[in-house]
């Protein structure tokens, strides 16, 4: 496949690519050196199922694999303890380590229905986040300002409305960014709602002396409520391993008693 054809294939279905010229350069470098690109996507195990909304970004992961690149399926058992504040109008309820571990196991069982296991590395971000000592966390926090964090629409809205924001929520985008630093990510994929977090990753990588990752965002899939995005925490999702009857019931809005 020519370079232009590869770019067209990888751009297909993306809402945004930052930056296309950077991706072109890395594809050229990959061809010259034989080193596959390192493509990272993170999933917090806050519920037991991967859902149809996830398949939009997983499909794009598959496209990179088909072109010979390595995908890192990052299970956020570390960031999951914080809870992604993206799109939240209140602090996300904490979940236990036991719940996270249980949900993570189901992720591992589900992803290879879609991805090539030979070209996929499953990693848990507690592997590196759990080894950061207090002073290393302070060093990471010093690389970003409160003003920049408050540029996020969800944080800005909560701050303006006087809704509490806990300090640990500020650590979420920084922790996700450190995932990219540790894995030396060339590309990070995520939904359009993740754009802020992904951009933080670019900046933090620069601060650690790494080339900034390319960002690819995919559209959000509407949930079964017809209003919000499909989300585990909102309970409006269709799991990829659910029985066809259960999928149909959710799509049609039929209660369990009528099936």
* pLDDT value of position 60: 94
Pairing of the two strands 38-43 and 70-75: parallel
Q: Is the pLDDT of residue 164 over 80?
A: yes
| Mean pLDDT value across the chain | 87
Do 51 and 235 contact (CB within 8 A), yes or no? no
Contacts of 202 (CB under 8 A, 6+ apart): 18, 212, 213, 215
pLDDT in tens, 108-152: 778 888 888 888 999 999 999 999 999 999 999 999 998 998 888
Tokens coding 206: 């620069």
Helix, strand or coil, per DSSP, at residue 228:
coil
Which pLDDT score, from 0 to 100, does residue 94 have? 66
Question: Per mean pLDDT, which range of 12-26, 48-62, 78-92, 156-170 is the poorest?
Answer: 78-92
Closest-CA residue to 210 (of 169, 182, 173, 188): 182
Instruction: Assign 214 a pLDDT band (cuts: 50, 70, 90).
Output: very high
Give alpha helix (H) positions in the chain.
3-11, 20-33, 52-66, 97-110, 126-129, 134-141, 146-149, 153-160, 167-183, 195-207, 244-252
For the chain, what percent of residues have pLDDT higher than 70? Answer: 94
Q: Write down the pLDDT at residue 11.
A: 95
Band of residue 255 on the pLDDT scale cut at 50, 70, 90 = low
Per-residue model confidence (pLDDT) at position 98 = 83
Question: What string of DSSP letters covers 170-223?
Answer: HHHHHHHHHHHHHHT-SEEEEEGGGHHHHHHHHHHHHHTT-PPPEEEEEPPPB-
pLDDT band at 41 (very low <50, low <70, confident <90, very high): very high
Q: Which residue has the tokens 């999951």?
A: 80
Residue count of the chain, please give it. Answer: 259
Q: How far is CA 225 from CA 228, 229, 237, 244, in A?
A: 7, 9, 9, 18
* 8-state DSSP, 48: S
Segment 42-92, tens digit of pLDDT: 988 877 778 888 888 999 999 999 999 999 999 988 887 777 777 665 566
Q: What angle do CA 177, 180, 185 make, to 5 degrees?
A: 145
Q: What angle, 0 to 180 degrees and rounded to 10, lies between the N-to-C axes of helices 3-11 and 52-66?
A: 170
pTM of the model: 0.86
Q: Is 132 helix (H, G, I), strand (E, B) or coil?
A: coil
- What's the pLDDT band for 204 if we cut at 50, 70, 90? very high
Is the bond preceding 108 in cis, omega lying within 30 degrees of 0? no
pLDDT band at 211 (very low <50, low <70, confident <90, very high): very high
Cα angle at 108 between 121 and 106, to 5 degrees?
Answer: 160
Instruction: Name the nearest CA neighbour of 219 among 239, 191, 178, 183.
Output: 191
């Amino acid at each position: 496949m020519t370079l232009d054809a590869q770019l067209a294939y990888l751009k297909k279905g993306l809402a945004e690519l930052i930056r296309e010229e950077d991706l072109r350069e890395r594809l050229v470098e990959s061809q010259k050196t034989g080193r596959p690109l390192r493509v990272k996507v993170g999933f917090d195990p806050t519920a037991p199922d991967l859902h149809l909304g996830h398949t939009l970004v997983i499909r794009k992961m598959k496209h990179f694999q088909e072109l010979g690149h390595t995908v890192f399926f990052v299970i956020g058992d570390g960031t999951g303890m914080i809870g992604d504040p993206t799109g939240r109008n209140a602090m996300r309820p904490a979940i236990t380590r036991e719940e996270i571990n249980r949900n993570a196991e189901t992720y591992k069982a589900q992803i290879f229905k879609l991805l090539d296991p030979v070209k996929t590395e499953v990693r848990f971000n507690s592997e590196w986040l759990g080894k950061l000592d207090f002073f290393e966390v302070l060093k990471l926090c010093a690389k970003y300002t409160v003003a920049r964090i408050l540029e996020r629409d969800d944080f800005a809205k909560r701050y303006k409305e006087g809704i509490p924001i806990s300090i640990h929520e500020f650590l979420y985008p920084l922790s996700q960014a450190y995932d990219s630093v540790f894995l030396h990510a060339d590309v990070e994929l995520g939904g359009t709602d993740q754009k802020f977090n992904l951009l933080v990753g670019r900046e933090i990588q620069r601060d650690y002396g790494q080339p900034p990752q390319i960002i690819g965002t995919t559209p959000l899939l509407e949930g079964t409520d017809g209003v919000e995005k499909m989300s585990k925490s909102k309970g409006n999702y269709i799991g990829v391993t659910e029985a066809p009857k259960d999928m149909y019931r959710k799509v049609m809005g039929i209660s369990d008693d009528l099936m």
